[in-house]
Every structure is written in C-alpha cells, then in structure tokens.
Structure 1
Amino acid sequence: MTEFWIKAGQLLLSLSILVTLHELGHFIPARLFGTRVKKFYLFFDFLFPLPNVMNFSLFKIKRGETEYGIGWFPMGGYVQIDGMVDESMDTEALKQEPKPWEFRSKPAWQRLIIMVGGVVVNLILGFLIYSMVLFSWGEEKLPIANMSYGVTVDSSMAVYGFQNGDKILEVGDAKYFSQIGMEIMVNETRNIKIERDGAVQEIMLPEEANLELVDKGTKRLFAIRFPFAVDTVMPDGNALKAGLLRDDVIVSVSGSPTPDAATGIMAIRSHKGKTIDLVVVRNGAEMKLNAEVSEEGQIGFRVKPMQEFLETETYTYGFFESIPAGFKKTGEKLGGYISSMKLVFTKEGASQIGGFGAIGGMFSPTWDWHSFWSMTAFLSLILAFMNILPIPALDGGHVIFLLYEIVTGRKPGDKFMEYTQTVGMVLLLALLVFANGNDIIRLFK
C-alpha cells in the first residue's frame, strides 16, 4: 500500500506540473493578443469529458477577468477562452455577434499560436528537464559487452529459446542493455546472437514476436544478471535478527536457487508473511539462516548494486554540455515513442493501452528525484505528441482547422466547430473508458 501512495503522489505532482505549464502555453499568448480568458484550471471542475456533470472545484479565486482554480477530476486541465468552443462546451457567446476580445475575432495566425502554445511548452519543458537531469546526475549505461553474468529471461522470451544466464552478444545496432527492448519491439530485429556455455549461438525470433510480446503484456524482456549479495542490513529488521551480514551472497531461498538478484528478490516476495530458509555463502563457506518475510515481501536489507559487479559507462555533463545532450535525448525519446505507436494500431497493442493505473505504474516504487524528473520529462513529450494529434477536442484538431483557414481563406463556421468538438469529446470519453477499463481488467488477471 505504501508503494501505491508513493507512485500516486509522484503521478499527481508530475501531472500538476505538466498540466499547469501546458495551459500557461495557451494562456500567455492569449493574453498577449488581448483575448479574454474566463477560466484557468488545473484539473477539471467537471466529470471530463461531460462538462455539465458534477461541476465543482476544490479551490477557486478570481483575479481580473479570469477565474483561477483547481478542479476535482485529475485528468488534465483547461483554459476557457472567450469566443472559443473548448472542453467546457460553453457556446452561449457564439450566439451573439463576435466581440473584439474573443478568440474567434483574432487573426488566424494569432489563434494558431494560441493553440500550439501548450504543445510547444511541453516540448521545451521535456528538453529542459532532460538537460538538467543530465547536468545533475549524468548518465550511466551498461554496455552489452560488459554483461558478464548474462541475463535473466522473462518467461515470454523463454518460449523462443532463451535461457537464464545467456550472454547477449548482438541485437541489431544496440550497444547498451537499455537499447535491446527498442531493437526487438520497434526496430523489429529478429536475429539475436548469444553465448551459452562458452558456445556462440543465434536465436531467430518469429516475425510477429513484438505483437506476441505486447499481447502477453510483457513489460521487461530481460533483466541484468548479477549476484544476490547483501549490501546494507537494516537495523532492527528481520535480516539482522536472522544473522545476515554485509557481503553475504544468498544462493537459495526456501529451496529455490537464486543465481541473481532479480530472481532472489522475487523469491523473497513470493513468501510474504512467512518464514523462509536462506542458504548464504560467507567467506567461501555455505551456511543456513531462517528469516521472517514482512507483508510487503521484504526481510530488511539492501542488495548490492549492479555496479559492484559490472563495469558501466558513466557520462557527466557540464551546464553547457548538458544542453545539446538534453536535445539529443529528447529527440531519441520522442522518436522512440512515435515509432512505438505503430504497435497501438494492432489488436494486441490496443489491449495494452492503459489509463491512470498504467501511467502511475511507470513511476518508481520509492521516491527518487532522478527517476521522477526523468519520467516527468518523458510524460511531457507524450503530452505534446498526443495533444498535437489531429483529433477534434485536442489542440491538434483546432490546428488542422486553422491551417485549413490560412490556406483556403475560408473559416469553418461556429456550428461546425461545435459539432466537431462534440464528436471529439465523445471519442475522448470512449478512449478514457477503454484505457481505464484495461487497467481494471489487468487487476483481475
């Protein structure tokens, strides 16, 4: 339960930052062009996308012509601009003659800048966060060539012939462990070279491997393999009571071998609330210990990090060096996400679309600022891409109609915009129900 609230807290904070700045991207140019803004809301003060259902806010205050508030429905947010059909579906003003301060009275180029403002802010924000993450923490990568203990194989990859302990030698153009998944799932590399028991082999994946893996809901193809060794024993924890010491290597949990840390952690978690038998190697000799596992699946010690056993490449960046590095990382992340979208338009991919639960699950189970800001940067890029899609009710839908107006010189009618907004809201409602429905279904699988 603690893990749930930590992830939920990170999700809420991340969305608050992203949504507020996205809406500022619309608000600031609107005000610069003399357009009145009725509302500026973080989260919706109605049951999105149903503008007349459960209308109330957690906080609101009026300054000048604008009401600033925090809504109760944490899916996004909005700015309600005079003379524009938006999420609020307030069409009363459209029944009257256009006023000089209304959105519809402004030149098309100004309206275009107002509409793309949110997407531009999210792109810039993603770039800035990545740059500052690289400046603050640097970047650490594990070369495939340095994975001397091999990999732990997910069951979905085992069916293709992979085994625990296999050393991956070549996967397309991947140089680092973090690139393997992209090579297989997006770039569709099918020929993988491995080393097993000192012999080099090649495993050929089926052409539809990426779709099969998506259909199974596979989150991780391989895990980095390194010894299950004790780093720090927590004071007053069950590990201390059991006699576990720093540098102990746990080789068995209740009769199940633990040749690597990932396997060992999962073995302990599978015995929540029970007493387990541990076989550890201490100073070259095996010994047996008994430990109680908490309801959270822990016994009270930290595992020695991968870096104790495997040689990684660490890159540090000065302030000015972090800017081009952040730009490059932004391009890689956004490009990879866009490339992976092709999987969404398949039966298998559609079944894995997720809502709040899936997004929250992407955050770290512990509050780690490095992980938090990296995920926030990635979500900012996703928000930019999704909002620019040419779907009515999204920024991209408005942009398409504005580009049509600029090219042809003909402005779509207010009624037409009202109808398209309604269609867009229905589509978003269907997607919202579908995505969060998938999350619920996965809970019971």
Structure 2
Amino acid sequence: METFLIKALQLILSLSILVIIHELGHFMFARIFKIKVEKFYLFFNPWFTPFKFKPKNSDTEYGIGWLPLGGYVKIAGMMDESMDKEQLAQPPQPWEFRTKPAWQRLLVMVGGVLFNFILAMFIFSMMLFAWGDTYLPLKNAKQGMAFSESVKAGGFQDKDIMVSADGEEFQMRGGILDMNMLMKFIDADAVVVERDGKLVTIHPPVGFADNVIASRQQPYDFWKSPVIDSVLSNSEASRIGLKPGDSITSLDGTNITSFNKLQSMVGKMGSELKGDEKRPVSISFSRDGEIQTVTAMVDTAAIIGINARAFSPFTKENIQTDNYSFFTSFPAGVELGVGTLKAYVTQSRFIFTKEGAKSVSGFGGIGKMFPAEWDWQTFWTMTAFLSIVLAFMNILPIPMLDGGHIMFLLYEVITRRKPNEKFQEYAQTVGMVLLLGLLVVANGNDIVKAIFG
C-alpha cells in the first residue's frame, strides 16, 4: 500500500506541474493579446468545485477541480471543451478570442505545447547542472550484448559489443532516457560493433526498425552466460536435478547461447498458457563434459528456478560522468530534450497499429514508471519526459486537442476565411468521443494487465 501511495503521489505531482505549465502557456499568450480568460483550473470540476477564488479587479477565476484528469483555461469567445454555445451566440466583443487576428489566435493555441517543451528542456538542463550526465559507453561492456531474434535477423550476433550508430557512440543511461539511444540504434543506417576483437559495420535491412518494434521484445540486453549460478530450493529446477555449474545447451531442441535467450523462451511459453495449464519442456545441459536431458514443467509464472551469475558493467572503471556549468547545461539540456522528442515521435508510429494499441497505457501504466521510493532525479526525469509526451500528443491534429484548433487556424491563415462554425462544433464532438475512447482503451489495458499480467 505504501508503494502504491508513493507512486500515486509522484504521478499526481508530476501531472499537476505539467498541466499548470501547459495551461499557463495558453493563459500568457491570451493576456499578451488582451484576450479575457474567464477560468484557470487545475483538474476538471464537473457539477461542483472544491476550491476556487477570484482576485479583486481580475477577470479570471482560479480553482482546483475534483477530477484529476487534466486542467483547462476557459478563454472568452472560443469554442473549446466547455462547448459554451450561449457565449458564441452573443455579438463578438473586442476582448474575445474570436475577434483577434488569426496569427494571435494561433500563438494562443501553440502556447501550451511550447511551454511544455520549454519546461522539459529546462528540467533536463537543471538536472545536468545538478547531477551531471552519468552513462556507460557500451564499448566498455566487454561481455557484449544478447539480442532479440528480430535484431539478429538484421545481422547482429550474441556477444557483439555495441560501439556506435551512424557515428554516434552507444551510451546507456538507464531508465526512460535510454529510449533515445534505442531508437537511434533501430533507425541507424550503419551500426559498428566489435566482434571477435575486430570492428564490424552492420547495415540493417529495410524494415528493420518496424520488425524490431512489432516484435514487442527488448532489442538488446547485457549478455549473460547460460551457466547456472544458483538453483532455488523447492523449485522446478531443483525437482528435475539441475545444479550450479550446469550449462544449458538447448531448450526444446533450440540452441541456447545465452541465459537471456533461455529467459525469453520460457517467458514466451508461460505467456501462452492460461489458468493452471502447464507445458512440458525438454532441457539439455552440460555437466562435467556430458550432455544430459531432463523434462521440466512450465506454468504461467514462467519460472523454472535458476539464476545466472550476477554482474553489472556499471562499475567505477566503466561509467563516465560529464559535468556542466550553469550556462553550458542549457545547450546540453536542449539537445537532450530534442533527442527525447525525436525518439518518442519515432516510436509513436507503432501506436497506430493493432499491436501498438494493446501496449498503450493509462494512468496506472504511467504510475508504474515512477520508482517505489521517492527519488528526485528519477521524478524530474519522468516529469521532463511526460512533458514532451504531453506536448507531442497535444499537437496532433485531433479536434478537442490544441492540434485540432491549430489545424483550423492554419486553414484560416492559408485560405483567408474561417471554417464553418457548425463544422467545428461537430468536429469538437467527434474529437471528444475519440479522446474518451482512447482514455477507455488506455486505462482498460491497465486493468487487463493488472488482472491477467
């Protein structure tokens, strides 16, 4: 329960910061152009409002709603999520959104996305200033990597040491920021690896990135020897007589070259089972130079009960830390923010597929990304990443989102005439249905994963 509360508090605080900054972007541009902002709310407030106040001589009511699904600013004379048709039926006023030039209205709508992206870059900059940039150059991981089958189909082999992608050195940071390097890897035209002491350049085939993403498997991990280090008591491995020092050579006739592959295959077998189902699997291993074969039973937990030798390449000798002054942290933070945005945009193309839809997460999935113990460095990393996600999702040309409004405004700028108001009203309704549907799918996925794993 304590772990859940810590994760939930981090999620709520992070989203609250992002929502306030996003809405502040709209608010600031509106006030610059002397547009009246009637409400500024954190969270939504259908039916009743737990907290609100209106400063003296201010046109804006500030408040906190009870439904923590976002927030909003209500801008006078604008067709938004409030669907306030009565106001729009009144004669236009000079302080209203609809009476301002198209370029001003465009900046008001872009403001939220712009502020979210600026926030992400600022957070990254301050993190680099406070903690520096600590990473592992993967060329220092001399045991090499283990690759998924989809990556091996592109020409990679287990125990390859990753050196560079399109001339950029492979660097592992841990957590969400590894997504940057991962996307550069799968989209690279040329990847250099060290194989048997020699540098080898691999040119992945056409469609490599799509195949890797569609496989839904971790593309690479540190290679682990298939030699058993320990056996859990009262486990399936103990029952069938496996011992420390045994080297797994095959699983159901498939050659095993790493502990990673063994885990992947057993995990896949378990995921295909339901309820109390069990599946027999043939395990061959080498002991004292002799090959032996036993049969294990795999269930939905997909745990045989053996461990590989524990190791970590993140040693003092292997890792590197780059420190930044206050002023040098800003260009580095901008570069990190832009790189994270590019990586997320590249990855997002998978969302609009059948398999991608299954992987979309709601608030539960996002909450799990935060650590079980409060850690400010991880919290700010996640907040910066989510700020970029929020900016990107909001710029999509979907009615009800900022991108939908921007789409109509661009149409007006290009054609010099406003879109039909009735059409915009219908589009807003369709956009609302789409977003509610996405909300149901995302949070429905979280519920299914929680129940069935």
**TM-score, reference length from structure 2:** 0.71
Structure 1 residues 12-411: aligned runs within 5 Å: 12-46=12-46, 55-63=47-55, 64-151=58-145, 167-168=161-162, 173=167, 175-178=169-172, 181-185=182-186, 187=187, 193=193, 195=195, 210-211=209-210, 214-215=213-214, 217-218=216-217, 220-224=218-222, 251-252=229-230, 254=232, 306-308=313-315, 310-411=317-418
d(CA) in 1 for partners of 2:201 and 2:119? 43
User: What is the CA distance between 1:113 and its match in structure 2?
Assistant: 1.7
User: What is the CA distance between 1:325 and its match in structure 2?
Assistant: 0.9
Q: Deviations over 1:170-218 (max 9, x none)?
A: 6665522436522444x0669785647x899999988666555545543
Q: Deviations over 1:344-372 (max 9, x none)?
A: 23332232122212222322333211111
User: What is the CA distance between 1:416 and its match in structure 2?
Assistant: 2.6
Higher mean C-alpha displacement, 132-141 vs 400-409: 400-409
Per the alignment, in what secondary structure is the counterpart of residue 142 of structure 1?
strand
The code of the aligned residue for 2:76 comes to D
- On the 8 A contact 1:226/1:309 being kept in 2, the answer is no
User: What is the CA distance between 1:224 and its match in structure 2?
Assistant: 4.2
Is there any run of 5+ residues in structure 2 with no aligned partner, and where?
173-179, 233-242, 248-258, 264-309
Give the root-mean-square deviation of aligned CA atoms: 3.6
- On the 8 A contact 2:185/2:191 being kept in 1, the answer is no
d(CA) in 1 for partners of 2:244 and 2:76? 66
The code of the aligned residue for 2:230 comes to S
d(CA) in 1 for partners of 2:244 and 2:6? 31
- On the 8 A contact 1:139/1:314 being kept in 2, the answer is yes
The code of the aligned residue for 1:142 comes to L
The code of the aligned residue for 2:425 comes to E
The equivalent of 1:2 in structure 2 is 2
Q: For residues 257 and 123 of structure 1, do their structure 2 counterparts lie closer, same or farther at Cα, with a shift above 3 Å needed?
A: farther
Q: For residues 181 and 33 of structure 1, do their structure 2 counterparts lie closer, same or farther at Cα, with a shift above 3 Å needed?
A: closer
- On the 8 A contact 1:215/1:352 being kept in 2, the answer is no
d(CA) in 2 for partners of 1:139 and 1:163? 30
d(CA) in 2 for partners of 1:258 and 1:189? 40
Higher mean C-alpha displacement, 383-392 vs 435-444: 435-444
Per the alignment, in what secondary structure is the counterpart of residue 363 of structure 1?
coil
d(CA) in 2 for partners of 1:202 and 1:103? 56
User: What is the CA distance between 1:309 and its match in structure 2?
Assistant: 5.8
- On the 8 A contact 1:150/1:164 being kept in 2, the answer is yes
User: What is the CA distance between 1:35 and its match in structure 2?
Assistant: 2.0
Q: Deviations over 1:149-189 (max 9, x none)?
A: 3346679879999898664456665522436522444x066
d(CA) in 2 for partners of 1:329 and 1:441? 34
Q: For residues 112 and 171 of structure 1, do their structure 2 counterparts lie closer, same or farther at Cα, with a shift above 3 Å needed?
A: closer
User: What is the CA distance between 1:60 and its match in structure 2?
Assistant: 1.9
- On the 8 A contact 1:170/1:194 being kept in 2, the answer is no
Is there any run of 5+ residues in structure 1 with no aligned partner, and where?
47-54, 228-249, 267-302
Per the alignment, in what secondary structure is the counterpart of residue 42 of structure 2?
strand
d(CA) in 1 for partners of 2:410 and 2:370? 37
d(CA) in 1 for partners of 2:130 and 2:364? 29
Q: For residues 33 and 181 of structure 1, do their structure 2 counterparts lie closer, same or farther at Cα, with a shift above 3 Å needed?
A: closer
Q: For residues 158 and 413 of structure 1, do their structure 2 counterparts lie closer, same or farther at Cα, with a shift above 3 Å needed?
A: closer
The code of the aligned residue for 1:344 comes to I
d(CA) in 2 for partners of 1:210 and 1:439? 26
Q: Deviations over 1:22-53 (max 9, x none)?
A: 1011112222322222211111123xxxxxxx
- On the 8 A contact 1:252/1:258 being kept in 2, the answer is no
Calculate percent identity across the aligned residue pairs. Answer: 49
The equivalent of 1:243 in structure 2 is none
User: What is the CA distance between 1:84 and its match in structure 2?
Assistant: 1.0
User: What is the CA distance between 1:377 and its match in structure 2?
Assistant: 1.2
The equivalent of 1:437 in structure 2 is 444
User: What is the CA distance between 1:420 and its match in structure 2?
Assistant: 1.6
User: What is the CA distance between 1:88 and its match in structure 2?
Assistant: 1.6
Per the alignment, in what secondary structure is the counterpart of residue 359 of structure 2?
coil
The code of the aligned residue for 1:32 comes to I
The code of the aligned residue for 2:69 comes to M
Per the alignment, in what secondary structure is the counterpart of residue 99 of structure 1?
coil
User: What is the CA distance between 1:89 and its match in structure 2?
Assistant: 1.6
The code of the aligned residue for 1:252 comes to S
**TM-score, reference length from structure 1:** 0.72
Q: For residues 310 and 4 of structure 1, do their structure 2 counterparts lie closer, same or farther at Cα, with a shift above 3 Å needed?
A: farther
d(CA) in 2 for partners of 1:257 and 1:161? 31
- On the 8 A contact 1:127/1:377 being kept in 2, the answer is yes
- On the 8 A contact 2:162/2:170 being kept in 1, the answer is no
Per the alignment, in what secondary structure is the counterpart of residue 35 of structure 1?
coil
Per the alignment, in what secondary structure is the counterpart of residue 328 of structure 2?
helix
- On the 8 A contact 1:211/1:348 being kept in 2, the answer is no
d(CA) in 2 for partners of 1:148 and 1:191? 17
Q: For residues 310 and 217 of structure 1, do their structure 2 counterparts lie closer, same or farther at Cα, with a shift above 3 Å needed?
A: farther
Q: Deviations over 1:269-306 (max 9, x none)?
A: xxxxxxxxxxxxxxxxxxxxxxxxxxxxxxxxxx9975
